[in-house]
Amino acid sequence: MRDVERPAREDSRPTTDGQRPAHLQPSPFNLHNPWLQIALIVAVAAFFRLWQIGSIPPGLFGDEATDGLDALDVLAGRGAIFFPANFGREGLHMWLVAGMFRLMGVTPLAIRLPSALAGIATALATYWLGRELIAAYRVTDEGRRTKDEKTFVVGLWSFVPLIAALYIATSYWHVHFSRFGIRGVFTPLLGALAFAAFWRAVNRANQRISGSANQRISESANQRMNESADQQIAMRNPQSAIRNPQSVWFALSGLFLGLATHFYTASRFYPFFLGGFLILQVVIAYATGRREQAILRRNFRGIVLLFVVAALIFAPLGLYFVQHPGSFTQRAAEVAATKTANPWLRMGQAAAANVLQFFVPGQGDPEQFYNLPRRAVFDPLTALLALIGIGVLLWRWRQPAALFLLAWFPALLLPSFLATDRWPTLPRVLGVIPAVYFYPAVGLLFVAGLLGRVLNGRKGEGEQGSRGEREKRRAGGQSISQSPALPLSIALCTLALLIHASATYRDYFRTWGRSQATFDAFEGDMAAAASWLRNNAPAGHVYLSSDIYRHPTFMLLGEEATVQTYFQHRDPHLSWFDARSALPLPPPGQPATYLLGSSAAMAAQATAILGADAKAIDRVPASDGSSALTVIELPSGARPSTITAATAISFTDQLALTGAELIRGNDGVLRLNLMWRTAGPDPDGWPGYRLEIAGLRPNGDPWQDDVSFDAFRPPEWVPGGSFVTWHKLDVPGGAPLHDLRLRLLRAGDRQPVGAADGWHVITLER
């Protein structure tokens, strides 16, 4: 670097009254005070992540519950580094949830609190990352020549970390996943920490290099022009660089990168992104004649250390994948584009949809449990600012910090391009956080700086100040904190952030959080059933109706089972069924209590069978005032209607058919109603059966079909009990049938149960 005499840096020169510029004053109320900024970030992030967390989201989503079931396995001494259930999931999140269960008990809050705390920490990690990126930008920026450019960089540019962190703190997308007890939200946290530590190491290395150069070039004005505040401290006290060697920060970066792979599959792309960026940055540095700025060349040993540490942290999980090779790609193989007829077309469609969901209103993730359906990541104003920010970074693409933020976005979108079972999708692109929130921050501050320069120019034209004041302005001595445009710039930034935060509050807390669709998506009825049973003493045997057999939400909150014992678990006082297709009845003379979730409400056939003796004794309301859970009691003296046959047919030791009737409904559809008697549970029969029905049509043509028979599964059968099932027969024209036959097929291998072919002729009730 040539030793050219230049004016001292404006941010270090005292003002006319002999004081340091206002933005360097140590006042605790100065906008540049980092502790004040951190306090603001924590307050805002904590509010959006902890406010009403006990009620929003409602219930407990099935994926959250599955992680909780695995956490119970951890507490039972069956912890693992990878949990194969639910297509396989990295295990570190389950260990965190297990710790919360130990502290707080098995509750939805215990599952969601780690995510909420991770969300708050992500905002802080983004602030740290921003400060390191700004420091790196200042070190390598040789293009600051004019007063306006100096004013922008020294004044407003230093607010990028704060604005980006506040954008994340108030982001609908990040708030949503921070209050959602699944492991994906740890990806942006560990990514931000890893890359903040990486840039810290790079900046420390620059300090050491600059410190050595400063010993050779005595107090070079050119050197001072390109040193950040941290570098000046290191030069005044060279021992500070030794006490904080950059190798420690490189190792810490590797630690965070390795830990990220233990949380979520998309995190595996982080090391490849970092390696790709380093190679790309070397190519650009050499191509533009700035080879001394090549990060890989200057920090080769530290970067090798980073990847070695990351590999060591990943090693236990990697060893598991070596021993269980199918687990590494189990989930990806189910959703990969290569499984489709035209994978390149599918990947192109997925890529377009996943990019548009950030900027175009109405193009967001449609799933209720991941988003306010179709809401774009950015509101319109923030989307515009983000595009401006991308343009500013593209203009500065030769700068490593700008290139880093630009490359982060496409690199971590790759998982959503390769997995094409659905699009757009927010969970698979969580890795682009926090990079995407630097875009509106840069755009907003660029607009504010542009406006400030315009106003400062107008003011300068209208002023008739002293010759000294004019000379000072020409020399760039006025910092942005002394500018008359500062209040307007602050107001502009505050307004943009308030618009962003207000949209998030409205959409999350007032719209999405109170929606009945959200209540249903987060299994509010099953959570209500678990709560009701904890607080009440039901009469007789309990029959719980649900759309999912052994629903994970209830199995966690109500039964506290584990994944390992999920189907072996047996509650002798409770049986599962689906009231839309079946109705179990207690042994004669015994009472029963029916818990009917809104996802599987009682069909009209079941209501008619129970008759007037059954009474609704309680009702738990849902978000819209409808019934989330209806509790019906059947007293011991009740006499539900039954179907009888001349002779019972025994299909298994635990199951016999005791009645059948064939009826045509008002809609002209033919239905077969069957009455069954149970001798007790069959623990091995949890997959259930298929019921195959055959008969003759009026013209003598054979007809045959098979229907589901799992609305009341064998493990749930009660000794001496019975149940009724009803089946729609898909007979063309609804023609009557005669000479009916039935047989049971095992759901797994579809082999008949009983005799050689399993067929039984049935007698219909007249």
DSSP 455-522: HHHHHHHH----HHHHHHHHTT---GGGSTTHHHHHHHHHHHHHHHHHHHHIIIIIIITT-HHHHHHT
Q: For position 154, what pLDDT does the model report?
A: 47
- Name, of 93-107, 146-160, 686-700, 728-742, the range with top average pLDDT: 93-107
CA 196 from centroid of its chain's CA atoms: 22
Under 8 Å between Cβ of 133 and 125: no
Collapse the DSSP code of 541 into the 3-class scheme (helix H, G, I; strand E, B; otherwise coil) and give the result.
Answer: strand
Task: Give the pLDDT band of residue 496 (cuts 50, 70, 90).
Answer: very high
Task: Give the pLDDT band of residue 210 (cuts 50, 70, 90).
Answer: low
Strands 592-597 and 738-746: unpaired
pLDDT at residue 228 above 60?
no
Tally of CB atoms within 10 A around 152: 20
Under 8 Å between Cβ of 284 and 298: no
Residue 90 bridge partners (DSSP)? 82
CA-CA distance, 180 to 168, in Å (whole number)? 16
pTM: 0.85
Q: For position 25, what pLDDT does the model report?
A: 46
Q: Could you give the percent of the chain with pLDDT greater than 70?
A: 82
Kindly report the average pLDDT of the chain as a whole number.
Answer: 84
Q: For position 184, what pLDDT does the model report?
A: 93
Structural domain boundaries in the chain: 22-60+107-512, 523-634, 649-761
Q: Could you give the percent of the chain with pLDDT greater than 90?
A: 55
Among candidate residues 270, 97, 275, 307, the one with its CA nearest the CA of residue 193 = 270
DSSP string, 246-264: HHHHHHHHHHHHHHHTTT-
**Can you count the helices (H) and strands (E) in the chain?**
27, 16
Residues 6+ apart with CB under 8 A from 145: none
pLDDT at residue 530 above 50?
yes
Q: Indicate the range of 25-34, 654-663, 757-766 predicted with least confidence.
A: 25-34
- Name, of 207-216, 248-257, 641-650, the range with top average pLDDT: 248-257
Give residue-wise pLDDT tens across range 638-686. 888 888 766 788 888 899 999 888 888 777 788 889 999 999 998 878 7
52: left (phi over 0), alpha (psi -120 to 50) or beta: left
Task: Give the pLDDT band of residue 212 (cuts 50, 70, 90).
Answer: low
Q: For position 233, what pLDDT does the model report?
A: 39
Q: Indicate the range of 194-203, 433-442, 677-686, 747-756 predicted with least confidence.
A: 747-756
Task: Give the pLDDT band of residue 755 (cuts 50, 70, 90).
Answer: low
Among candidate residues 698, 759, 691, 766, the one with its CA nearest the CA of residue 731 = 698
Give residue-wise pLDDT tens across range 299-344. 999 999 999 999 999 999 999 888 888 777 666 666 666 666 788 8
Q: For position 733, what pLDDT does the model report?
A: 66
Mean pLDDT for 550-560 is 94
Q: For position 4, what pLDDT does the model report?
A: 37
Q: For position 484, what pLDDT does the model report?
A: 59
CATH 2.60.120.1140 fits 649-761, yes or no: no
DSSP string, 610-676: HGGG-EEEEEEE-TTSSEEEEEEEE-TT--------SS-EESSSSEEEEEEEEEE-TTS-EEEEEEE
Looking at per-residue pLDDT, the higher value among 29 and 323 belongs to 323
Output helix, strand, coil percentages for the chain, rounded to the nearest 5. 55, 15, 35
Alpha helices in 237-335, H assignment, sequence order = 239-243, 246-260, 269-287, 295-298, 300-323, 325-328, 330-335
- Residue with the two structure tokens 């001494």: 77
pLDDT at residue 59 above 90?
yes
pLDDT at residue 427 above 70?
yes
- Residue with the two structure tokens 């001292």: 8
CA-CA distance, 11 to 445, in Å (whole number)? 18
Q: For position 511, what pLDDT does the model report?
A: 96
Q: For position 754, what pLDDT does the model report?
A: 75
Looking at per-residue pLDDT, the higher value among 198 and 751 belongs to 198
- Residue with the two structure tokens 């990295």: 90
Residue 576 bridge partners (DSSP)? 544
Q: For position 485, what pLDDT does the model report?
A: 64
Tally of CB atoms within 10 A around 644: 11
Q: For position 127, what pLDDT does the model report?
A: 97
